[in-house]
Amino acid sequence: MSEKYPDDRGALWIESDDKMTGTINGEKVVAWRNTKKVGKQPDWRIKVDKRQAAKSGEAETTTYGHEVSDQDVPF
């Protein structure tokens, strides 16, 4: 991330008592405090900031497995 702090992976800024925003490994994230914690659940949940992806026009895509061509399908 930075030459001065090579172990850094990102930074978070507090927006409210139960929300932080920032970047981790160059990806924009939002962290929410788990207010309904039961047992060994995490204190905070970190998710990709989908608002930023929507603003920039990026489409959210998920790829499973590998790409298949016409030659891979026996017809």
pLDDT tens by residue, the chain, 75 residues: 567 888 988 999 999 999 999 999 889 999 999 988 899 999 999 999 887 656 655 555 555 555 666 666 665
In order of 10, 19, 21, the CA distances from 2 in angstroms are 10, 25, 19
- What is the domain count for the chain? 1
Residue of 51, 60, 53 whose CA lies nearest to 19:
51
pTM for the model stands at: 0.58
Residue 74 lies in a domain: no
Residue 58 lies in a domain: no
d(C-alpha 4, C-alpha 59), whole Å: 34
Domain that holds residue 10: 1-50
